[in-house]
Chains A and B, each alone.
Chain A
Amino acid sequence: MGRSKKKISAEHTSRLARIELPPSQIPVVQSELESLLDFVGRIEQLDLDSVEPFFGIAIDANPMRTDRQETSCDRTDTLRNAPQTDGESFLVPPVFGKQES
């Protein structure tokens, strides 16, 4: 397993994660992330080509539910933790782009 040449970019990653980093913080975070990646990167060198990954869940049953309607929540409850609503919908700053699907 070859080590990737490309290094983490704190700036790009923070955009992907939607976490704004003030410019002064970028180099700090950059070096923190680099040292953490350096530490976790020790597993990169292991030759594990023949090993099946384990995602941590070993359930034999097929857990599924019946297509039967359950009572939905009261809208007042649904909305009550939101920063901005009109009593029916959640409100966000205007969206002009197009959505993905």
Chain B
Amino acid sequence: MSVKATIIVGLEVHVQLATETKLFCGCATAFGASPNTQTCPVCIGAPGALPVLNRKALKLAIKTGLALNCEIEPNTHWDRKNYFYPDLPKGYQISQFDRPICRKGYLDLIDPQSVSSGRRVNIERAHLEEDAGKSSHDETMQGGPTKIDFNRAGTPLLEIVTQPDLRSGHEAKTFLNELKLILSSLKVSDCNMQEGSLRVDANVNLSLATQEGNQATPIVEIKNLNSFRSVERAIEFEAERQLQQWNKDGMTIDQAPKQTRGWDDSKGHTVLQRIKEDSADYRYFPDPDLVVIRTTQADIESIQAEIKSLPAERRQILMSRYLLPAYDADVLVNQGDTFVDFFETVADQVKDGKLVSNWLQQELLRHLNATQTDIQACPVNANQFVDFLTHIQTNQLDSSRAKDVFEQMMSDSVSVEQAMKSLGIENLDSEELTAICQRVLDENPEIIAQILKGNTKAIGNLIGKTKSLNKNVSPSQAREQILKMLPKH
């Protein structure tokens, strides 16, 4: 029996906000400190200590919400989410339950090479909450004690929850790429997945069009997703697994409990972690240690004013003002704001967006990737790059040597002139060129004869000979000169 299966995916993304200090106390949030050295009575949950909200965390949350087209809650409050876990210091997490700071937003997928482009993914909510500490389990599996480090406890997180609007692993990846671009562009988070600044859980199931009507497979929550690529692979794997499972047992969403499965990246499959028999009872209630926080329209406007162009808008500008194709605009914007700034600075002077785009995509990016640097650390600054491209445009630098020159500029961090000089590339003055051309013409009467007979291709032969006399000869200039000097017939 063949059925049409549609993958239904919703994402929960925990973003660590780029604050100096924790959500409710003044301890540092820096990654990698020695265990339990970044704690105080508040974040360790000492009896009697009380939380006070970090203004910047709230602001970053609102900023993200605005960028994701969310409504901002004017009277947001805090709830306690009660559960026991050794790295949860107070036995509850301060989170937001029924009045999250951001609600009802959306993000449009942008992917010029896919039909998904332009699809809208609805954001259900984005709420602030504090992170837990870190548990390190006995790796020898000898049953040794678990170590608890509370340095991370209390770090501000923004939990962004989408509606189940994504329809493939690829869409999920596209969504996450765009989200990350926005978060980086807003400087809301460093989005470092390795350090846990961006954590993704995916809820996946299938909608099956069967002869008996639409059915849905049980929802699986996938955890341990360490890269966007893993998210994509895990969703595709899970879709396949669920289809097979359904073919085997026919269990639907109402017949089987929700599962949590972990993604094993090396084996490329998901592993059952936990079956949620009954939904966890978190006993949410308003945190009596914190008060309602009021956000006015004026507050929102002043935060909105700080948001510069978002990635989607930058793509539009690249296409309309710099006349780039959608593909180019996407590639450039995906490199982040600094890269696009670099492009715009250069293109504004060079006045040929496509030329600049080609060089950035093909040579600059290749070099940056090869040397594991980013545009901030680019050895060639925008002015030097403008100078380089101008040399090409004005034929001062022949395109056949341009790549060598660029490579030289990048590796030695030098100007175009310096690079050309160190490669021994000089522009011949017209007298020298005339002399070389004359010599070639003098020495090759038989080729001239062929040309005069109509074999114009043979002129390339002559150009080659000028080049072998002096490698600085520009082929185009040599052609021009030779044509000028050929005997008329």
- Chain A residues in contact with chain B, CB under 8 A? 16, 18, 55-57, 59, 62-73, 75, 78-79, 84, 86, 88-101
Contacts and interface: CB of A to CB of B under 8 A. Distances in A.
Contacts of A56: 288
A8 B128 CA distance: 33
Interface string B129-162: 0001001111000011111111000000000000
A93 to B, nearest CB: 6
25 contacts: A16-B281, A62-B291, A62-B293, A63-B291, A65-B53, A65-B54, A65-B55, A67-B19, A67-B56, A68-B20, A70-B25, A70-B40, A72-B27, A73-B40, A75-B39, A78-B39, A89-B136, A90-B147, A94-B144, A94-B146, A95-B86, A95-B146, A99-B132, A101-B14, A101-B201
B36 interface: yes
A99 B84 CA distance: 10
B37 A72 contact: yes
Report whether over half of chain A's contact residues are helix, strand or loop; otherwise say mixed: loop
B90 interface: no
Report whether over half of chain B's contact residues are helix, strand or loop; otherwise say mixed: loop
Contact of A18 (B37, B84, B286): B84
Contacts of A88: 34-36, 147, 149
A89 B145 CA distance: 11
A98 B40 contact: no
B36 A75 contact: yes
Contacts of B39: 72-73, 75, 78
B84 A68 contact: no
A93 B36 contact: no
Interface string B177-209: 000000000000000000000010100000000
Contacts of A79: 36
Interface in B192-250: 199, 201, 223
A62 B293 CA distance: 6
Interface residues of B, number: 58
Given A70-B40, A93-B145, A64 B86 contact: no
B138 A94 contact: yes
Given A89-B148, A94-B144, A100 B85 contact: yes
A89 B36 CA distance: 7
A61 B284 CA distance: 25
B398 interface: no
B392 interface: no
Interface string B278-301: 001101001010011110000000
B52 A63 contact: yes
A55 B21 CA distance: 29
Contacts of A93: 145-146
A100 B273 CA distance: 12
Contacts of A70: 21, 25-27, 40
A29 B36 CA distance: 39
A65 B147 contact: no
A86 B150 CA distance: 14
